[in-house]
Every structure is written in structure tokens, then in C-alpha cells.
Amino acid sequence: MCCRSAGRALWVLLQRQPPARAAPLRPRGPAACYGTSITSAKIQVNGVHLHYQQTGEGSHAVLLLPGMLGSGQTDFGPQLKFMNKQLFTIVAWDPRGYGKSIPPSRDFPPDFFERDAKDAVDLMQALKFKKFSLLGWSDGGITALIAAAKYPNLIHKLVVWGANASVTQEDVRIYNGIRDVSKWSEKVRKPLEEMYGHNYFAKTCEAWVDGISRFAENSDGNICKQLLPDIKCPTFIIHGEKDPLVPQAHAEYIHKHIKGSRLLLMPEGKHNLHLRFAEDFNRQVEDFLR
């Protein structure tokens, strides 16, 4: 039985139309209340034991890709618990060096997004999913863009939010503003410190800032701009208009360069819009994936 929903948001139906803006959002309870259990396991992929969580029994497989220092446990609680488990089989992975996919320790070579994309796709194939959709948040959104472009025959649909295809000098300034984890709010910092311990958490965040900032040295700050036209699957881009970490221009660029994509702007959404407004987010995503 579904829980009561908040106001619905409008869709962008054609690529050239202006982006839709969601109705005012209220942080309320989950949109769907199915009680299938969540399992947790590890599987060896590309020489690394990757941890993942899985739930649901639907025919449509969906992979959730977390952000920097993220994991299924920290990043996707409302999606693992409340997305429609009759329609979807939901997998949330911990990229190598994150969550419970340690060892190895996390590092950030120039191709770390491509490495994550290959790991993610190979994980789903190891789990015997022939085709699947991707839901990518922040860094996980970048990984999902690359995976959709490079492995088009495997990807059914794509949803990204809080993602960017390039790094500007303004982005570098923002990244350096979160380098010192002691300045993070306790609400955000505490679960990550509990998962990693302070030293690993702090060291990895600093390494991430250095790693992603290096993209600003590329021509046009490129991460994966050249791959966007290669994405052929239906694509839904969501952006919080109050996101302090990813300027809206990044979402608009991705939308413009993925043919036929849809863009939804959430006026009250911040970077963690899928957590803060989980009911609205889950409903919008489920409607798109059907």
C-alpha cells in the first residue's frame, strides 16, 4: 500500500523545452511501503571484493551509484527501503575503497571514474543482470554517465542528479571549501566517521579534492563531455536549485548534450535531494523507469 504523496512535479517532454520545475516539496514519509528484506554480500570483480546490497523481486534491475565516500548504507536508505520492490530489483554498490569494499584503500588516478564505471557494469554482469538502469548521485552520476556512454547495450535507462561533466575553477573553489572534514556539519560527518574512522575519512576526502580538481587542468575542464552525445538510452536529469556543491549550469549542460533527455529542477532541493525529499524523488524516478 502506498503512502500519501506530496504535490507532483512537471516533466520536460521535449529536449528543447525549458526545464520543468517541481511544485514546492515537503519532506514527508516514503512513497511506497513494500517490505522485502535487504541482503548484503560481496563478490569479486576486477580483482576486488565489491560489497553490495540488494532488495526487490522485480524484472527491472536498477543499480544505485553513490557519491564521494558514499555507500549504499549511507547514501540510499530511502531508495533501498521504499522503491517499488514488485517492479524493481534494486542493487546499491560500494565502489572500491568506499563503504565495505575495503580493501583496497581508495585512490584517485586520472581514470578513476572510468574504473568505477567498469567495476559497476562488471558487478551487475557478475550478478547475472543482462540489462539494467542506473541511478547515479554526484560522483556516482558521473560514473553512470560514463557507463551509459561506454556500455550502451547494457543500460536500459539513466537517472543522474548532482552530477557534472567538467570541472571549472569555481568548482575547485567549492571543493576546497569541503577539504577539511572537521568543518562539515555533524549530521553529515558523523555517519562517515562511524563507517571509516576519522583518519581514513579525512585523508580520503583530501585525496578526492586533489583528484577531482585535476580535471580543471584539462581542456574545458573535461571529465566526460565528449561522451554525452554517445548516451542513447532514455535519460532523466534532476537538479536541486539550492545545491551548494554543483552549480545548475552543469545539469543544463548535460541535458543539452544528451539527445532527448529530460531535466527536472527542484526549487527547494539541495545536493541530497533524494534523501531530503525521498517521497517525491522516488515517485518521479519510478514513473520514469516504468
What positions carry a catalytic annotation? 138, 243, 271
- Helix intervals (H) in 24-180: 72-75, 77-82, 112-126, 139-150, 169-177
CA 56 to chain centre: 19
**Contacting residues for 222 by C-beta, under 8 A, at least 6 apart:** 165, 166, 215
Amino acid (1-letter code) at residue 204:
T
- What gap in Å lies between CA 181 and CA 256, rounded to an integer? 34
- What gap in Å lies between CA 193 and CA 199, rounded to an integer? 8
What angle in degrees, to the nearest 10, is found between the helix axes of 198-213 and 186-196? 110
Type and span of the H or E element at 280:
helix 278-289
